[in-house]
Amino acid sequence: MSSLAPIETSNRILSLRLALLIILAVTLWRVVMLYFNTTDLFVDESQYWFWGQNLDFGYYSKPPMIAWVIRLFNALSGSDKTFWIRLSAPLFHMATALVLMRASRRLLGPEIEPWVGVTFVTLPAVSLSSVLVSTDTIQILFVSIGIWAFLGLNKRTSVVEALILGVSLGLAFLTKYSVLFMLPGVAIAMITLPSARVAWRDVIIAAVAGAIVVAPNLLWNLSHDIATVRHTESIAHWDGTGKGNGVLLHLLGGLEFVAAQFGVVGPIVFFAMLWGAWRVIRGESGPQEKLLVWLSIPVVLLITLQALFAKAYANWAVTAFAAGTILAVWLLKDTRRGLTTSLIINGIPAILLPILTVFAGDLKLPNGDLLMKRYVGRSAISLQIADMASKAHTDLIVADNRDILADLFYTLKGKPYHVYARNFGGFPKSYYEQMFSLPPETTADVLYVATSPFDCASGTAELVSTWKPDFGYMRDKALYAYRVSPSCLAPTP
């Protein structure tokens, strides 16, 4: 592998103390700017908050961990303002950076430890998910703890670290099922690398501990028509309906996903990861480097295959970037320019993104749309709907749109309104339809908000208003509000 001199040079530039100060400074910057953040909760954030008001072992589209975390922060603060809902994000990322530093020390010694921390905390995906609350933020912390424990078990048996491995991966599963994409790479590493093997006793302990942690969610799914699994299948289009039949469409989907990863973790970091995979193919890497490749690259490959045949979002490979960050820093350690250039490139969005959220209502594109259009205008629509309900003399509000429902539940919390989803029949299309559909015994008229014109076939419907929001995520999209009898909204057989 590489000579020691470049490593010493690199460490003189970035000491452990300086790295910790950078990580703390970046985190404080994010927390302070989060306090002044002017964006509304995104649809997913509002939904996660609402889950936290209705604690369970599972939910329609995700396992329960993010709801539990948000509820914990709300309980500790005594507030459910957006600041407290999102505060866990920068704190979790800081913790992940520190854990990855310790993991890199376990595998490779102290040489690259400072760079691993500052590289991770400034990844573009980390910067973005530090101004929002997401499952990725929580999952990658548990994955990193699991990697730390796994690397310890490669060297010696330990009941405690086997338990930590099983529990951390179980908690990662309770955050997002995509942790399963790591298992093939782990299996390959243990089979092909003697240094990556774990004693059978520890494997069994970890497996039992993990099974105990995930069991409540599995039981919840069985008792709820495997809702989360069915939703995951529907968004991934495993039934083959996600793409056309053209070969070009499939190839473009895979290429688009791979290209997106250069933006997710930065061009230099992702290039270094691909370089690591190439070195393994050419037989140029040692066992430590191979282990990091097996803990990261197979995840990217599996999601790329998903993108080739159906649909994949850019963030689905997030579990790859725990080990992937260590791999990239290890390969770039011989060149001070590579690491510092990567830090500068990734540091720009780390500084700018929090600023953009503060001025979300002011920064516009040439076409007049707000730069952060997706994240504003939601609460304004909810307040307009509440005003229409009041004028229509009803406290019952029903909507057919998940985005609108998510914000209605959050923005109108504590106000004298009852919000419901329209039940369309069949397998529910959202958590709100699954758990908060308009009760069939309702007799009073309701305000029904729709995204398209509505005709009632079995009751009365009076158009209250039609309007187009003048800013935000639904700018210039028509919305319709009707006062209707509940029979109008009954699901058709």
Tell me, what's the pLDDT at 381? 96
Low-confidence ranges of the chain (pLDDT < 70): 1-13, 231-250, 493
Between vectors from CA 466 to CA 462 and to CA 468, what angle results, nearest 5°? Answer: 165
Q: Do residues 10 and 336 lie in contact, with contact meaning Cβ atoms separated by under 8 Å?
A: yes
Closest CA to 446 of 402, 404, 401, 385: 385
Instruction: Tally Cβ neighbours within 10 Å of residue 254.
Output: 17
CA distance 442 to 445: 8
Joined together, the tokens standing for residue 303 give 């999601």
Tell me, what's the pLDDT at 14? 85
CA distance 6 to 219: 53
Tell me, what's the pLDDT at 310? 78
Tell me, what's the pLDDT at 289? 96
Tell me, what's the pLDDT at 8? 46
According to the 3-state scheme, what is the secondary structure of the chain? Answer: CCCHHHHHHHHHHCCHHHHHHHHHHHHHHHHHHHHCCCCCCCHHHHHHHHHHHCCCCCCCCCCCHHHHHHHHHHHHHCCCCHHHHHCHHHHHHHHHHHHHHHHHHHHHCCCCHHHHHHHHHCCHHHHHCCCCCCHHHHHHHHHHHHHHHHHHHCCCCCHHHHHHHHHHHHHHHHHCHHHHHHHHHHHHHHHHCHHHCCCHHHHHHHHHHHHHHHHHHHHHHHHCCCHHHHHHHHHHCCCCCCCCCCHHHHHHHHHHHHHHHHHHCCHHHHHHHHHHHHHHHCCCCCHHHHHHHHCCHHHHHHHHHHHHHCCCCHHHHCCHHHHHHHHHHHHHCCCHHHHHHHHHHHHHHHHHHHHHHHCCCCCECCCCCECCHHHCCHHHHHHHHHHHHHHCCCCEEEECCHHHHHHHHHHCCCCCCEEEECCCCCCCCCHHHHHCECCCCCCCCEEEEECCCCCCCCCCEEEEEEECCCCCCCCCCCEEEEEECHHHHCCCC
Joined together, the tokens standing for residue 346 give 């990734």
Joined together, the tokens standing for residue 131 give 């101004």
Q: Do residues 209 and 166 lie in contact, with contact meaning Cβ atoms separated by under 8 Å?
A: yes
Residue with token string 């209707």: 484
- In whole angstroms, how large is the CA radius of gyration of the chain? 25
